[in-house]
Amino acid sequence: MSLLSHDSFWNAIISLPTTKKMLQLSLKKCGACNRTILEAALDDYVGKKAAKCKCNGLYSRIIRFWIEFLRRSLNIKREKVEKLLADPYARRAIINLVKSFIHYGIRKPLSIYAPFLVVWDFTHKCNLNCKHCYSNSGAAVQPELTTQEALTIVDQLADAGVTALAFSGGEPLSRKDFFEVASYAAKRGLYVSVATNGTLLTKENVEKLKQAKINYVEVSIDGATAETHDSFRGAPGAFSRAIEGLKNCVEAGLCACIATTATKSNIAEMPAILDLAEKIGVARFTYFNFIPTGRGKKHYNEDLAPEEREKLMLYLLDKMSKGFKVTILTTAPQLARVALQCQGNGKELAMSMAHMQTVKVSKKAVPLADFIGGCGAGRLYCSISPQGDVHPCVFLPIHVGNLKKENFSDVWLNSKLFNALRERTNLKGACSKCRYKYICGGCRARASAYHNGDFLAADPGCILSKEAESP
């Protein structure tokens, strides 16, 4: 297993002319069956029946050998790997990884050819007035992208190789062309999700989401009671409408998620919120860090102390270890570090692998967290504003390009700011010296919010950062 964690060894292998040629050939389409060698190898591995073709030859067998090598090294059951490799969105991500190895080699952490996730703040319009809103949404005060401009951006993202596109806002459902643009994104092969306040998730709109092939619906719930939630959302009745919207999604068979921003005002209700998620029958729960940006700048006092955040992460890990039915995700990069520190004698542990995704993995896979764990801003993920501006993160709205004037791939690959975020050696303060800087690296948006825009500074919300700065 130690071999898998040696980036210098794998870079030496990938740098070989023969290896690079093989990787490049694996992405070329076969004139006979219109599949790439990589697709043919994956089809064969998962047992998909296809006509015999010359593309399913030596290179295909080599690819299948390496898949099996990794599977055995990580001690993953074959049926799990087959299910993953049969998924079209997983295949899109794999193709992206191959392009990444060709372009960057293997870095620690990984730099990828196109982001796995782009969050698009589709509009500033919103029917609520949330006190912690990162985009300060309400009325659309600036001209926003036209429908045609939005469709062109979808083409740019799809052509770049982006895996997933999440529509956010503002309230994305308040824009009249949302369903048209979202449906087009799904047709272009993107995994499409929507983050909403839930108040517009009527049965009619939920049916439209299904028709548009939306894969996933995330609803913000910031309290287990109407009193707590509505005080956050700035509108009476928001809680009951959001809960009704979630129930409509679950009833319609959509993959639904409750997303909660943890603050001093609602942390005591976190167990009740999780109970609510299980009761409603949602598939996922996402814990968001409070980040004082947008309207949140007026509410620094709502941020958790490092000790409170640590306690919350331990609680969530405990829920996961005890078989909680709802999948738990988080934007807190420290979760992987906490999981490592409290791992027991079992064969598995919970890890935050890549941006937000939290999974149970074999302990043999832990060294891989150095490559794919931690904050993904500008490295695995980025965001787009309603005007087409590209930012490293919705919570870190630093302009790096505009898609009405520039091509997305050019911005992603060449932005100096993005390239700075991709190198953990650029970190400052406690994060730069931390032994967990590769699996975590701290939240760059929180660093910026607390250090006058210095996104490479230490994340003050981590208990290790606090300890390092203590006299």
pLDDT at 59: 77
HSE-up of residue 452 (Cα within 13 Å, Cβ side)? 0
DSSP 4-26: GG-HHHHHHHHHSHHHHHHHHHH
Separation CA 66–CA 243 (nearest Å) = 46
Measured in whole angstroms, the distance separating CA 171 from the mean position of its chain's CA atoms is: 19
| pLDDT over 50 at 367, yes or no | yes
Tell me if 19 sits within 8 A of 13, measured CB to CB. Answer: yes
Whether cis (ω within 30° of 0) applies to the bond prior to 109 is: yes
Separation CA 178–CA 193 (nearest Å) = 12
pLDDT digits (tens, 9 = 90+) for 4-58: 556 676 667 777 778 888 889 889 888 888 889 899 899 989 988 776 777 777 7
For residue 15, give the amino acid letter.
S
pLDDT digits (tens, 9 = 90+) for 399-440: 999 999 999 999 999 999 999 999 999 999 999 999 999 989
- Show me where the domains of the chain are located: 2-86
Separation CA 34–CA 25 (nearest Å) = 14
Give residue 356's pLDDT band: very low, low, confident or very high (50, 70, 90).
low
128 contacts: CB under 8 Å, gap ≥ 6 = 171, 197, 199, 233, 234, 235, 238
This prediction has a pTM of 0.93
Give residue 363's pLDDT band: very low, low, confident or very high (50, 70, 90).
low
Strand stretches in 81-137, DSSP E: 117-121
Give the Cβ contact number of residue 408 at 10 Å. 24
pLDDT at 127: 93
Phi, psi angle pair for 359, to nearest 5°: -135, 160
Separation CA 342–CA 337 (nearest Å) = 9
Q: At what angle do helices 238-251 and 270-280 cross, to 10 degrees?
A: 40
> 200: closest CA among 225, 167, 165?
167
pLDDT digits (tens, 9 = 90+) for 247-278: 999 999 999 999 999 999 999 999 999 999 99
Separation CA 197–CA 138 (nearest Å) = 13
Q: Is 184 helix (H, G, I), strand (E, B) or coil?
A: helix
- What is the pLDDT of the chain when averaged over all its residues? 90
Tokens of 180: 């048209």
Tokens of 442: 């701290």
| CA distances from residue 169 to 172, 321, 351, 417, 457 in whole angstroms, order as listed | 5, 33, 29, 23, 27
Separation CA 211–CA 287 (nearest Å) = 29
Q: At what angle do helices 270-280 and 306-321 cross, to 10 degrees?
A: 30
For residue 419, give the amino acid letter.
N
Q: Is 373 helix (H, G, I), strand (E, B) or coil?
A: coil
The CA-to-CA distance between both ends of the chain, in Å, stands at 39
Average of pLDDT values for 164-186?
A: 97
pLDDT digits (tens, 9 = 90+) for 117-168: 999 999 999 999 999 999 888 877 789 999 999 999 999 999 999 999 999 9
Separation CA 347–CA 362 (nearest Å) = 6
Q: At what angle do helices 17-26 and 7-15 cross, to 10 degrees?
A: 80
